[in-house]
Amino acid sequence: MSAQIISGKDISADIRGELKDEVCRLTTETGVTPGLATVLVGADPASQMYVGMKNKAAGAMGINSQQITLDADTSQDELMGVVAGLNADADVHGILVQLPLPDHIDEGAIIEAIDPLKDVDGFHPMSVGRLATDSGDFFPPCTPAGVVEMLMRSGHDPSGKHVVVVGRSNIVGRPLASLLIRKAVGGNATVTVCHSRTPDLGAVTRTADILVVAMGRPEMITADLVSPGTVVIDVGTNRVDAPGTEKGYRVCGDVLYDEVAEIAAAISPVPGGVGPMTITMLLSNTVKSARLAAAR
């Protein structure tokens, strides 16, 4: 294996150390301590785990964290009321409503109800619009922002490079493309977005200087789809059967890691790659929101 390993775990630890120092300065100099509120509806085990991880990480950095847990049968109006209360709370700078929500709740309406100034997930239409037009203060979606940080901090500035993004979701692919083409640090790339309808995917992915894969398909990117010397960021997190193991499954990315690592210049692992960065960028957005609030 010859590729440089881009460890999201290590990069995330560095960023969290910087943010912890910033939280301390912000609190000391302005009296404002960043506050993050997470809202969990129902008892989905995965969602409970994710929210718990976010709150634990926030607390470790000195961010005031509160979790609001609601029953699965909570009505949309009741949830709207909770969001309205958090919007009005001056001590709350970031609001995260954990997705997915129960089927009877309109996720889009809930996201739009969050004050854009507290939309630290970066999903509000105003946040999306500001990212697309590169205007005003906005909070970028956490996973795409984490990918850009990983590239920059590992010495792979996308400026002037051809970046191929495989996946066009509103959570990763589309906002990542918008970040990468901005006239800003971490941007200025030439970006091609591929998806399930792209004919001859390999003909495009082999032209990439940087390849970012976010399709949610286990190990779909094999060595024959990657040119030697490419930087590969694997956003996928998939659980596949592994009979005979203690858990009965293993976690893998969208890239066939062992094979691609033999020819790539650099590659992010799964787990330990993009995953830790997503929570870290949520915390970064929360600190940014508090900083903006202190300046108003």
Question: In angstroms, rounded to a whole number, what is the distance separating the alpha carbons of residues 101 and 208?
Answer: 36
Is 91 a residue of the active site?
Answer: no
CA-closest candidate to residue 79, choices 90, 68, 89: 68
Is 98 a residue of the active site?
Answer: yes
C-beta neighbour count of 48 within 10 angstroms: 15
Q: How far apart are the first and last CA of the chain?
A: 51
Beta-carbon contacts of residue 18 (< 8 Å; ≥ 6 apart): none
Catalytic residue among 4, 76, 77, 98: 98
SS3 37: strand
**Burial degree of 279 (CB within 10 A; 0-12, 13-18, 19+):** buried
Q: Would you give the distance in Å from CA 50 to the centre of its chain?
A: 13
Question: In angstroms, rounded to a whole number, what is the distance separating the alpha carbons of residues 207 and 191?
Answer: 11
Catalytic residue among 119, 121, 209, 254: 121
> Are 122 and 139 spatial neighbours (Cβ–Cβ below 8 Å)?
yes
Specify the length of the chain in residues.
Answer: 296
CA triple 49-170-46, angle to 5 deg: 10
Q: What angle do the packed helices 45-60 and 274-295 form, to 10 degrees?
A: 50
Is 200 a residue of the active site?
Answer: no
> Are 235 and 200 spatial neighbours (Cβ–Cβ below 8 Å)?
no
CA-closest candidate to residue 67, choices 45, 41, 39, 97: 39
Catalytic residue among 14, 21, 44, 54: 54
Specify the amino acid at residue 75.
Answer: S
> Are 210 and 231 spatial neighbours (Cβ–Cβ below 8 Å)?
yes
The residues annotated with a catalytic role in the active site are 54, 98, 121
